[in-house]
Structure 1
Amino acid sequence: MRRTARALQAGLLALALAALAVPAAINAAPAFIAPPSPPAPVIPAAQLPPASLAPMGVAASPKADAAQPDPARLAALLNPILASDAGSLTGQVLDAATGAVLYDRRATAAAVPASNLKLFTAVSALKNLGADTRLQTSVLRGSEPGTLVLRAGGDVLLGAGDSAPGAVNGHAGLTSLAQQTVAALGGSASGGVRLLLDDSVFTGAALNPEWDTGDVTAGEIAPVFPLATNSAMPDLKGGSRPQDSALAAAQLFASILGKLGVPVQGAVGRVAAGDPAATEQLAAVASATVAEQVAYMLQNSDNFLAEVLARLAATGQQRPGSSADATAVTLATVKSLGVDVTGLTLADSSGLAMANQVSAAQFAQLVKLIVTGDDANIRRAIDGFPVAGLSGTLESRYDTAETAAGSGLVRAKTGTLNVVKTLSGFVLDADGRLLVFSFMGNNFSGGSAVAQPLLDQAAATLAGCGCR
Structure 2
Amino acid sequence: MKETSSQPVADDAPLRPAKDPVKGRVTRLLKAWPEALLLLLTVVLAIPVAMMAGPAFVGPGQPLSTPAPPAWQRPPATLAPRQGLPPLQDSAPVPLPSAVSTQLEALLKADGGGGFTGLVQDALTGQVLFDRGGSDNRIPASNMKLLTAVAALRALGPDHRFSTRVLSGPAAGQVVLTGGGDVLLGAGDSMPAQVMGHAGLATLAVSTVAALKEKGTAGQVTVLVDDSLFSGPALNPAWAQGDVEAGEQAPLFPLALNSARFDPVATTGPRPQDSAVTAAQAFAAQLKAAGAAAGLSVTDGVARFQASSGPAPSGPASSGPAPSAPAADGGGPAVLAEVQSATVSQQVDLMLQTSDNYLAEILGRMSAVAAGQPGSNTGATEAVRKQLTELGIPTDTMRLADVCGLALDNQVSARQFAEVVRAITSGTDTRLRTALAGFPVAGLTGTLGARYGDNATARGAGLVRAKTGTLNSVIALSGYVVDADSRLLVFSFIGNGLTPGAAGNKEALDRAATALAACGCR
Q: TM-score range by the shorter chain?
A: 0.7 to 0.9
2:306 maps to 1:272: yes
Q: CA deviation at 1:83?
A: 3.4
2:387 aligns to what?
A: 333
Cα pair distance change 1:310/1:446, threshold 3 Å: closer
Q: CA deviation at 1:267?
A: 2.6
Contact 1:73 1:467 in 2 (8 A): yes
2:321 maps to 1:321: no
Q: Distance in 2 between matches of 1:466 and 1:134?
A: 43
2:245 maps to 1:217: yes
Q: CA deviation at 1:467?
A: 0.4
2:497 maps to 1:463: no
2:201 maps to 1:174: yes
TM-score, length-normalised on structure 1?
Answer: 0.85
Gaps of at least 5 residues in structure 1 are 1-30, 33-48, 50-55
Deviations 1:110-160 (A, max 9, x none): 110000000000011110011000110011111211110111110000111
Q: Distance in 1 between matches of 2:508 and 2:233?
A: 38
1:19 aligns to what?
A: none
Asked which structure has the greater CA Rg, the reply is: 2
2:68 aligns to what?
A: none
Q: CA deviation at 1:340?
A: 1.6
Q: Among 64, 89, 97, which residue is 1:71 paired with? A: 97
Q: CA deviation at 1:280?
A: 0.5
Q: Distance in 2 between matches of 1:60 and 1:174?
A: 46
Deviations 1:345-372 (A, max 9, x none): 1100100000000010000011001110
Contact 2:439 2:466 in 1 (8 A): yes
TM-score, length-normalised on structure 2?
Answer: 0.77
Contact 2:367 2:383 in 1 (8 A): yes
Match of 1:98, as an amino acid? T
Q: CA deviation at 1:304?
A: 0.2
Contact 2:442 2:448 in 1 (8 A): yes
After TM superposition, the structure 1 = structure 2 runs for residues 224-235 of structure 1, keeping only pairs within 5 Å, are 224-235=252-263
Deviations 1:175-194 (A, max 9, x none): 00001111111174441211
Q: CA deviation at 1:235?
A: 3.1
Q: Distance in 2 between matches of 1:263 and 1:297?
A: 38
Cα pair distance change 1:177/1:327, threshold 3 Å: same
2:274 maps to 1:240: no
Q: Distance in 2 between matches of 1:215 and 1:448?
A: 20
Deviations 1:208-236 (A, max 9, x none): 00000000000000001110010001239
Q: Distance in 2 between matches of 1:449 and 1:304?
A: 27
Q: Distance in 1 between matches of 2:118 and 2:386?
A: 24
Q: CA deviation at 1:66?
A: 1.0
2:119 aligns to what?
A: 92
After TM superposition, the structure 1 = structure 2 runs for residues 61-460 of structure 1, keeping only pairs within 5 Å, are 61-84=87-110, 86-186=113-213, 188-235=216-263, 240-260=270-290, 261=292, 262-274=296-308, 277=326, 278-447=332-501, 449-460=503-514
Cα pair distance change 1:142/1:60, threshold 3 Å: farther
Give the match's secondary structure for 2:162.
strand
Q: CA deviation at 1:60?
A: 6.8
Match of 1:158, as an amino acid? L
Deviations 1:26-54 (A, max 9, x none): xxxxx99xxxxxxxxxxxxxxxx9xxxxx
Match of 1:401, as an amino acid? N
Match of 1:272, as an amino acid? Q
Contact 2:109 2:508 in 1 (8 A): no
Cα pair distance change 1:144/1:305, threshold 3 Å: same
Q: Distance in 1 between matches of 2:149 and 2:227?
A: 23
1:43 aligns to what?
A: none
Match of 2:303, as an amino acid? G
Q: CA deviation at 1:62?
A: 1.8
Cα pair distance change 1:368/1:239, threshold 3 Å: closer
Q: Distance in 2 between matches of 1:352 and 1:96?
A: 28
Contact 1:420 1:448 in 2 (8 A): no
Q: Distance in 1 between matches of 2:437 and 2:148?
A: 15
Match of 2:379, as an amino acid? D
Contact 1:199 1:225 in 2 (8 A): yes
Give the match's secondary structure for 2:219.
coil
Aligned-residue CA RMSD (Å):
2.0
Match of 2:246, as an amino acid? A
Give the match's secondary structure for 1:192.
strand
Match of 2:211, as an amino acid? A
Q: Distance in 2 between matches of 1:322 and 1:198?
A: 16
Q: CA deviation at 1:446?
A: 4.0
Deviations 1:375-426 (A, max 9, x none): 1222211111010011000000000111111100000000000011100000
Q: CA deviation at 1:239?
A: 5.9
1:22 aligns to what?
A: none
What is the total number of aligned residue pairs between the two structures? 415
Q: Distance in 2 between matches of 1:430 and 1:273?
A: 62
